[in-house]
Amino acid sequence: MILVGARSYEYLYLVTSKLMGMAVLLAAQPIAMLAAAPDVRINASAVLHAANPLYMGCHSDSGFVHEVTGWSSQMLFGESFERPPNATTPGQSAYAWQNVIDGTLLDRAEVLLDRSNNFSGWPSMGIRISAGSAAGSAGVANRGLGNEGLSFKEGMPYEGYFFAYSEQPVTFEVRIMGGVNFSEPLAVQRIAHSPAGAVRMDSKANPKWVRHTFSLTPSKGTECIGIVPGSDPTVHCTNNPGTAHVCVKCGGQFVVAVVANETYTAANVAYVVLQPGAWGRFQGLNARKDVADTMARMGVKAIRLGGSFCSVTSDDGAYYQWQRWTGPVWDRPSIGAHWDSYDHNAYNLIGGWGPFEMIDYAAALGAEPIITTTRSSTPDELADLVEYCWGNLTTKMGAKRASDGHAEPYKLRYVELGNEEYNSAYLEQVAAMEARAKSVGAPPLYYMFPSNDGLSGDDVAAAAALGLGGRLVTDLHVGGGGALGVAQSLFAQHAKGGLTDDSAVNFETNAGTHDLGRALDEASDLNDFFNAGDRRMLARTASFCHGRAGHFDEFDQAISFFLPNMTWLQPPGHVHAMIHESWQPWVLNTSISVVPPPSWTIVREKGITCSSSEYQGTAPMLNNSAAGCLAAAKKMVGQGVNYVVYPGNENCYVCSIAGDISSRLEEKPGATSYVGKNVVQQLSVSSQLSADGTQLVARIVNRGQPRVATIGLSGFVAAKASAVALTSDNLTAENTAANVEHVTPRELDARDCISMGHTVTVALPGLSFTIVTMHA
């Protein structure tokens, strides 16, 4: 058990000094102080349950912060010459291609989108050069997202491909450019092209097109530098929130062009890809290795791909039906798929990274893949999904999978049928999927229902009648935490209808922040999950796995960030990494001795306008009144809610606010505010024991001032102990591209973590997450 007291740092220093042999300094200290009741108690003889690694997951929503550009190794933006909608906010994204025509060809060359010669439904790029001197080239260049430029490493190979169509032999040239105004060739390769023959078919959907591959090794590298938004009109970037987002300009550009001939030359280009060689890709996949290394560093054991982009569209998500995402990326109907935020003013291209890419990625990472589909698919179509993933080559869909280039099964066990909506077809879909799973010999599958409120009415009893028990799962989406309490309410409601053995998952934690305050919320919530060990709570994924620094649109909650040339952890990402590095298999009985009682203070005619990161939503009231608002807010305390305001209408706004709430109250006629004290506990603790019983870790969140904590141990004698802490004096502290270690774990001095056998004394920094490792 761990108990935390108010002993001073000076006392800890004196105790440490005595242990180091400096007895004179401690001559006046009473020995009884060493036997004071511990602040935290850990019973190493009382193993509660096994630690669930699926709580160490993360959530990816392709519709926000250009997450796909972090997963995919594709360096170019708009491989099919896609153009953002007119409503896109300048700087959120931009058309990524520009014409590149040598000066000698300005009066002979024409480069235009050719809508009469489409590739997979998208206009190709037509390049025409009239007869004349056989010198120079004309084509198009791409500088990546927002035209910010590309990052290249000197001497490292880059690979790619493009599709070409012509009715005559032509010569293409691909180039990596750098230097001033991208005028210096860093690598060049010429490719001879002939019209497609009768036998060759590089694209089933586009039989007359030829796929050309290339490899380029730049003679020099290119750098990325931070710039002020708007300072370079060629770079499209927004004024981003906070300091962790940055606009960058990188020195590289990619060109694909047609070389001029003495005769008229005409060719079309489509679906252009550039990516690092094997050195920069993850296990042979079309995925960034540096980002995968960051996921591994955080110990990610589950990845959920899903979110609003699966459901909130003009056609109710039909474009995200799984059938549109099979086979080679260049042949898919999903080419050009994008999601533009709730306000339709952003532009996230997602067509190159779909459910099957994520399944393979998660499997290679050693994580559980979790896929959200659109609820608009029919039961038979979703049954086909099961067969497509698990059927052998004698089945229709298994054979299709093999013909699509993936002979091995897709190891998908968790499928969500919609996102944040009541799916009235859920039970029929599940029945069809389960029947197909049995027929193809699939392992047990888990079917997620996509609404926090769970099933209702007659659907509850009908679900129970399916007899699938814990494989019927409700996906709970919360703020910074608190899903365990929501799950208990859900289970109680389902039990009234006869469903008593279903399960839940927490696949979104929409905290809206990525700073130290979020890190403490994340650590506390994970402590709760580990301690509870609820077998009916199957998994948890933190939102988001990663996000782009710059080009921000909505939900600034990525636990890691990336740029074209780097990736780094934000404070909540460090929480995951710290837990991963200290992971042990057995959860122990852990308790805190002193828990101050919560209280709420009423303040009339005043209120606070919460920031987007503080706002936790509108609480559902049973009765429309200030008292009803408070009652509703108390149910959300587990999500970090410590302030609530009833403005006098039918709304009840709840927030999670750090620091002195009362000092921020302003005049707000007609409003009633409630300020919580100790509703979010200052301390949170969990502990785990190694399989051989020789190592014990305690994970302690301290939301308050610096304090000395004494850990009392039962069934374990600590011969030595050490501690590492993630801390800052500012809850809004974050890590920038220029200072990725601003908030990073640091080992505590030996004087701040003292082992005395059955007790360990540790000096907890204020606003910190500390992991104490004890060895027998």
Which residues have CB under 8 Å from 57's CB, separation 6+?
Answer: 300, 301, 302, 303, 304, 367, 368, 370, 507, 539, 540, 541, 542
Is residue 668 scored above 70 in pLDDT? yes
Burial class (CB in 10 A: 0-12, 13-18, 19+), 297: middle
Between CA 705 and CA 682 the distance in angstroms is: 9
β-bridge pairing 265-276 and 122-129: antiparallel
Token couple for 48: 């509660």
Amino acid at the residue 123: P
What pLDDT, on a 0 to 100 scale, did the predictor assign at position 316?
Answer: 47
Token couple for 556: 């600034």
User: Which strand (E) or helix (H) includes residue 414?
Assistant: strand 414-417
Between CA 398 and CA 391 the distance in angstroms is: 5
Q: Please compute the mean of the pLDDT values over residues 150-154 and round it to a whole number.
A: 99
Is residue 26 scored above 50 in pLDDT? no
Which residues have CB under 8 Å from 488's CB, separation 6+?
Answer: none
| Alpha helices, H only, 441-515 | 458-465, 483-496
Q: In a 3-state reduction of DSSP, which class is residue 100?
A: strand
**Residue tagged 């799950």 (tokens):** 487
Condensed to tens digits (0 to 9), the pLDDT of residues 205-237 reads 899 999 999 999 999 999 999 999 889 999 998
Instruction: Determine if residue 484 is left, alpha or beta; phi over 0 gives left, psi from -120 to 50 gives alpha, anything else beta.
Output: alpha
What's the fold here for domain 88-280? Answer: Jelly Rolls (2.60.120)
The CATH class given to the 599-677 domain equals alpha beta
Q: Which DSSP state fits 336?
A: T
Higher pLDDT, 516 or 28: 516
Is residue 495 scored above 70 in pLDDT? yes
Between CA 519 and CA 636 the distance in angstroms is: 19
- Average pLDDT for the chain: 91
Between CA 246 and CA 241 the distance in angstroms is: 9
Token couple for 101: 């025509």
Share of the chain above pLDDT 70, in %: 93
Q: Please compute the mean of the pLDDT values over residues 529-556 and round it to a whole number.
A: 94
Between CA 557 and CA 499 the distance in angstroms is: 34
Between CA 308 and CA 420 the distance in angstroms is: 8
Between CA 306 and CA 314 the distance in angstroms is: 17
Q: Please compute the mean of the pLDDT values over residues 429-436 and round it to a whole number.
A: 99
Q: Are 540 and 57 in contact (CB under 8 A)?
A: yes
What pLDDT, on a 0 to 100 scale, did the predictor assign at position 3?
Answer: 39
Ranges of each domain in the chain: 1-49+682-776, 88-280, 289-581, 599-677
Between CA 771 and CA 774 the distance in angstroms is: 10
Condensed to tens digits (0 to 9), the pLDDT of residues 576-622 reads 999 999 999 999 999 998 667 888 999 999 999 887 667 877 888 88
Which residues have CB under 8 Å from 102's CB, separation 6+?
Answer: 109, 135, 136, 137, 138, 260
For 221-230, 359-368, 443-452, 630-639, which range has the lowest pLDDT when averaged over its residues?
630-639
**Residue tagged 């698990």 (tokens):** 390
Neighbours of 701 (CB within 10 A): 26
CATH no., domain 289-581:
3.20.20.80
Is residue 287 scored above 90 in pLDDT? yes
Burial class (CB in 10 A: 0-12, 13-18, 19+), 479: buried
b/e burial code for range 654-683 (CB count within 10 A of at least 16 → b): bbbbbeebeeebeebeebbbbbbeebbebb
Token couple for 16: 């440490």
Angle at 604 between CA 598 and CA 605, to 5 degrees: 140
SS (H, E, C) 351-371: CCCCHHHHHHHHHHHCCEEEE
Is residue 35 scored above 80 in pLDDT? no
Q: Are 528 and 223 in contact (CB under 8 A)?
A: no
Give the CATH architecture of domain 1-49+682-776.
Answer: Sandwich (2.60)
For 16-20, 225-229, 426-430, 681-685, which range has the lowest pLDDT when averaged over its residues?
16-20
Condensed to tens digits (0 to 9), the pLDDT of residues 106-125 reads 999 999 999 999 999 999 99
Q: Which DSSP state fits 456?
A: -
Neighbours of 50 (CB within 10 A): 11
Q: What is the chain's length?
A: 776
Condensed to tens digits (0 to 9), the pLDDT of residues 237-280 reads 887 888 899 999 999 999 999 999 999 999 999 999 999 999 99
Q: Are 94 and 84 in contact (CB under 8 A)?
A: yes
